[in-house]
Structure 1
Amino acid sequence: MSCHQRSASLPSSPDSTESKVEVEMQALKGCISSPLVTIDTMRDGLRRLGDIYGCIEEVMSLPSNQVGLSLPWQRKMVEEELDRSLVLVDLCNAMQDYLAELKMSLQELQLALKRGQEAAVQFKIESFVRLAKKAQKPFKKITARKTTAEGCRMVRLLAEAREMAVSLLESASRLLLKQIEVTNRSGWFLVSQRLQKRRVVCEEARLQTLERSVADIESGIESLFRRLIQSRVSLLNILSS
């Protein structure tokens, strides 16, 4: 879904537009809950959710919604949702930091592999797996805080998008860790036994695949993060107008 592609043909009815956003979110939920989900699915899911945030932002910018969100009884819910969204902002920042560390660790591992530094390879493999597991920690600190926002449909859409974003990030992180652990069990331990040239080439290919996976998730998070910040700015502008 691309809001920029559809913005010229947005329906005149805010209710119709909001309903389409809800349909898009349900479709995304179905897509990412599939047992066949992959890193590519997660990357595309993060980007699609970013587009959903963009569409919500466009709906919020409609004059009728700006007036509604500024009303005292809705304003309080908007402010509460802004506070909750800070958790998502922090989570995106943490994930970006972890992914940057993972990429650097992967590059160091590949370099040690090429140089035939057996002890260094084993050490870096263990460090890499520990780092991947460390990326799971932020999710343990997040408590599920469902928001119904009765009577304020726009805030409810924002709350649902936020909750989906947290779920997507956690699923993407777990999927990446699973790929790392499977790769570790299936091949890396052989490297420490004997650094044969053919084996090194094989392991380099595995590491390059992992590096692409990390980059894909990183790209999806960056896309979502930009949309999230834009959404927060729009809400703050509405509240200050």
Structure 2
Amino acid sequence: MHLAMRPAGKTTAATAHARSASLPHEHPHPIMAHLDDSIRTLRSWSARATGGQSSGIALVDAVLAALGELLALPQAVAALHTATAACDQILERILVLADAYGTFLSALVTLKQSVAEQQVGTRRGDGMMVAASLRVHRRTEKELCRLVTMMRHAARGTLRPLDTTNNEVIGIVADVAVATVEASETIFMECAAMSPDMQVPSNKWLARLSVRPSAKKAAPETAMVALERLEKLEESIGGLETGSEKVFRRLLQSRVSLLNILTPF
């Protein structure tokens, strides 16, 4: 049997039961079943991309948390220990994800700083400061677009079949990597589309603020609305940063766990 990428939401109870065949239980192991459900939920979110980036990050975190529980099971450790080649492929994918989330975190820090500077510039009526922070914002958006491309490339890589014969544990661990790549592409893409004003393109936002290099001050009402919008954006970025830190740490923990499993007893 070879592992292939299944369409989102196609995981069935029968599949979950089959996956648990390598574990000595008459019924699917609760941890295996929980991880399977978490993967299905994440893939469903990726297919619909509803609920925003923070929801996607939370679902990725939930999948990786469930993976951590699975990797702590002695039965799972024994099953993975005999699948060195497959584990090596999964380790490569997790490393790509960890690198991507490290870059993503740096980008979020830059975005948050640029939004803070836009707030200062708006309060002061400093069009030059606002324009400079918007340029930083756009450069960061390009960096996020590069992350999207990285995830698309990684998704193509996950199409390589893994031999999961008599080892359904390796199959579900591989599915974690695939589902995380798919969701991360969507998360990064949505973040790349963020602008200080979610309703207008970034290059029109300065005009919407009524703040230009030659302007003395934005109208009080306009400045107030802009500041409220920026505060919400800053809060959103902060939430993404917190969630991404958790995902980054879990990816590193998963990689360490797999490396420890592959170490000879």
Alignment of 1:113-192 (within 5 A): 113-142=122-151, 143=153, 144-146=156-158, 147-149=160-162, 150-151=164-165, 152-180=167-195, 182-185=198-201, 187-190=205-208, 191-192=210-211
Spell out structure 1 runs of 4+ moving beyond 4 A: none
- Give the secondary structure class of the aligned counterpart of 2:116: helix
Aligned to 1:27: 41
Q: Which has the higher contact order (CA 8 A, sep 6+)?
A: 1
Residue 197 of structure 1 aligns with which residue?
Answer: 220
State the distance in 2 between where 1:215 and 1:19 align.
Answer: 32
C-alpha displacement of 1:12? 7.5
| Inter-partner Cα distance in structure 2 for 1:188 and 1:38 | 28
- Considering only aligned residues, what root-mean-square deviation do their CA atoms show, in Å? 2.5
- Higher relative helix content: 1
Aligned residues: percent identity?
21
**Which consecutive residues of structure 1, in runs of 5 or more, have no partner in the other structure?**
1-10
Aligned match of 2:81 = 70
Deviation at 1:230, TM superposition (A): 1.6
Instruction: Normalising by structure 1, report the TM-score.
Output: 0.82
**SS in structure 1 opposite 2:129?**
helix
Question: What amino acid sits opposite 1:192 in the alignment?
Answer: V
Number of equivalences = 226
Asked if 1:89 is matched to 2:107, the reply is no
Which SS does the other structure have where 1:182 is aligned?
Answer: coil
Change (3 A) 1:174 1:206: same
Is the Cα contact below 8 Å between 1:187 and 1:203 reproduced in 2? no
Aligned equivalent of 1:8: none
Cα deviation code 1:116-139 (max 9, x no counterpart): 112322332233233223211123
